[in-house]
Structure 1
Amino acid sequence: MLRLEAIYWLIGALLAVVAWFNLRERRWAVAAFWAVLACPFGFGEWIQHATAAGTHWPAQMMGLGVIALGLLAASGTLHPDAASIDERRDSARRLGNRLFVPALAIPLATLALVLGARFLVWNGAPLLDKAQPTLVALGLACVIALLVARRTTRAPATQALSEGRRLLDTLGSAALLPMVLATLGSVFAATGVGDAVASLVGAVIPVDNRYACLAAFALGMVLFTTIMGNAFAAFPVMMAGIGLPLLVLKHGAAPAVLGSLGMLTGYCGTLLTPMAANFNIVPAVLLELPDEYAVIRAQLPTAFALLTVNLLLMAWLIFR
């Protein structure tokens, strides 16, 4: 069975190779950054088991590693070497639209593997881990896309590693931001931020007015998503603070409609923030745009129009 841990080990191995490439070029800070980041992917399962068994120093060392990542990212030394623009342009002209084939292979292969997971069985055992089939399928699809890319470009396997290194060095600490932000929702929920939001909302808005509560929920989803860069992180906070106690329990809102439209409303905040680095900053870096916030500026009209439509839909549907 292909488990999610195998995908993590593969990512850890790639990060270790990237660190080694930078180490050979005496780019010490960049090498240290990727080496530290490779550790939780390569040894995360062992750290988890050690902590459960009462051995806490591996987790403490990983905590120091997180601090080191922050210091290295703040040092301003994670800038990549200039790549050959002429070489990339020549390659793009030669390959043309075939360049899209490996990129499209990732979502198509992921969809095919997820839908066909029940048929992928060997000796009565599933080949994909049932606990996380989508993530395992995504990791396997990336490997398939790598093979497709090699077939399309006729490039050697070593070039895949060097180009992967170049892209990671170009992204720098922005590659780390989505992983860090993904943990904020659970951290905020565990520390009682939802209760604090409920108290604050109760003090500043008329909680007996369901539309005022709805507006607070929607705008709170946008605000928290803008701060954390991730609607999934904002959702548990706003549902615990406003959605469940005020809209569902007090005013009888439909939970399913509130949840689906509430998440969609949160995505309006994703369009507005550089904290959503994988959506808004990474594309600008990869496309080498002169304005790193050009993507956000282009999305502003869509974000506010979508927020208006979502507010109207929720006011019409959730109280029916």
Structure 2
Amino acid sequence: MITLDWLYILAGIIFAIWSVLSALDSTNGKGIGNAAFWGLLAVSFFFGGQFSDLANGVLVLVLVAIAGFGQLGRSDPPTTNLVERAGFSEALGNRLFLPAMIIPLTAVVGTILYNWTPLGETGLFEERRETLILFGVGVVLALGVCMVWLKPALLAPAEEGRRLIDSIGWAAILPQMLAALGGVFALAGVGNIIGSLAGEVMPENSVFIAVVIFCLGMALFTIIMGNAFAAFPVMAAAIGIPVLVQQFGGNPAVIGAVGMLAGFCGTLLTPMAANFNIVPAALLEMKDQYGVIRQQVGTAIPLWACNVLIIYFGGFLLWN
């Protein structure tokens, strides 16, 4: 059976290759820092499941220390030059995007075929992990197609990947760390504390105010943690389940789904959502690192207000 651990091993191999290439890169003054950072990340993918919680925590702290003390630098390994890239663009045009399409197609089509044909009875993939595993398969297939079709140098994919990941830097793993923080908050009972505080300020029997506080909490916690998925268990435990669903009898499907959308409005407003707001600014070399966020404010706030109304009307007035 192919399990999610296979995907972890694949990711670990990629990070390990980047670590070795960084250590050998004499042009990057901070190559050793890059090598240590990506190497430790590879170790976490290879052995994180066997490490104790303390060992994993120490590993994370070392990663934070490397990034916090500015030991990560950008690399610029030689792969293809601008002339060669322009030649590929002119000769192949939009067909260059075909390998990228292989990844989602493999994940979506593969999942449908596996779940709706006799393939599912083979037990080839770990249960409920089919899509993630097939996503990894799609990456391998796309890489193979590129190697056969474009015939780049053997190390070109690894070097281009390293150039890209070094441009992003520590922000590449921030979403995973913040999601873990959300789990810690939930286990620590932060949701219960917020629920008790909200109960003191909410007017009794005011469904609308409860909805506003729930959506506001989703947005604010997302702004703090950079991840609506991390904010959801906290706000669901605080207000979503005990107040909106159990006390007022709201539609849990509407409250859960649209509540997440309210959290995503917070995603548009925070640098903590680095993969959405900071990484694009870095890759596009924008002068204003917060330029993406500034452009999204005018969308996020009205959209948040719409989500409040959707939960109020769709989850309560029309439901009851």
Tell which deviates more after alignment, 89-98 or 298-307: 89-98
| 1:61 shift after superposition | 2.9
Q: Cα deviations across residues 39-58 of structure 1 (Å, max 9, x unaligned)?
A: 110112333xxxxxxxx5xx
Of residues 35, 48, 59, the one that matches 1:44 is 48
Give the structure-1-normalised TM-score: 0.90
Q: Which residue of 1 aligns with 2:14?
A: 14
User: What's the CA shift for 1:299?
Assistant: 1.6
Structure 1 partner of 2:37: 33
One-letter amino acid of the counterpart of residue 14, structure 1: I
Aligned mates of 2:140, 2:222 — CA distance in 1: 31
In the alignment, the residues of structure 2 paired with residue 291 and residue 83 of structure 1 have an alpha-carbon distance, to the nearest angstrom, of 26
Q: 1:84 deviation in Å?
A: 6.9
Matches within 5 A, 1:123-138: 125-138=122-135
- Residue 288 of structure 1 corresponds to which residue in structure 2? 285
Unaligned 5+ segments in structure 2 are none
Distance 1:296 1:254 in 2: 32
Q: Is the 8 A contact 1:120 1:126 kept in 2?
A: no
Name whichever of 73-82 and 10-19 sits farther off.
73-82
> Distance in 1 between the 2:278 and 2:66 partners?
19
Which shows bigger deviation, 13-22 or 137-146?
137-146
- Equivalent residue letter for 1:36: L
Assess if the C-alpha contact under 8 Å between 2:113 and 2:119 holds in 1. no
Determine if the alignment matches structure 1 residue 112 to structure 2 residue 106. no
Answer with 204-213 or 222-231: which moved more: 204-213
Aligned counterpart for 2:210 among listed residues 210, 213, 234:
213
Paired residues in the alignment total 309
CA–CA distance in structure 2, aligned partners of residues 114 and 220 of structure 1: 35
Distance 2:113 2:257 in 1: 26
1:4, CA displacement in angstroms?
Answer: 0.8
Q: How far is 1:85 from its partner? A: 11
1:156 — aligned with what? 153
Q: CA, structure 1 residues 189+68, in 2 after alignment: closer, same or farther (shift >3 Å)?
A: same
Structure 1 residues 298 and 89, CA gap change in structure 2 (3 angstroms): farther
The 3 A distance-change label for structure 1 pair 171 and 206 is same
User: Distance in 2 between the 1:209 and 1:36 partners?
Assistant: 51
2:262 maps to 265
Structure 1 residue identity aligned to 2:34: V
Change (3 A) 1:154 1:39: same
1:125-204 equivalent positions in 2, closer than 5 A: 125-204=122-201
One of 85, 89, 103 as aligned partner of 1:91: 85
Contact 1:105 1:145 in 2 (8 A): yes
The 3 A distance-change label for structure 1 pair 277 and 89 is farther
Distance in 1 separating the partners of 2:40 and 2:201: 45
Aligned partners of 2:238, 2:123: CA distance in 1, in Å? 40
Identity %: 43
The offset of 1:208, in angstroms, is: 2.3
Counterpart of 1:270 in structure 2: which amino acid? T
Match of 2:57 in 1: 63
TM-score by length of 2: 0.90
SS in 2 for 1:318: helix
For structure 1, the 5+ residue unaligned runs are 48-55
Q: Is the 8 A contact 1:174 1:277 kept in 2?
A: yes
Structure 2 equivalent of residue 81 of structure 1: 75
Render the CA deviation track for 1:7-36: whole Å, top value 9, x for unaligned.
100111111111111111362111111111
Distance 1:300 1:89 in 2: 39
Distance change >3 Å, CA 120–CA 81, structure 1 → 2: farther
Q: Look up the SS of the partner of 2:247 in the other structure.
A: coil
Gap change, CA 1:276 and 1:152, over 3 Å in 2: farther
The separation in 2 between residues aligned to 1:84 and 1:21, in whole angstroms, is: 12
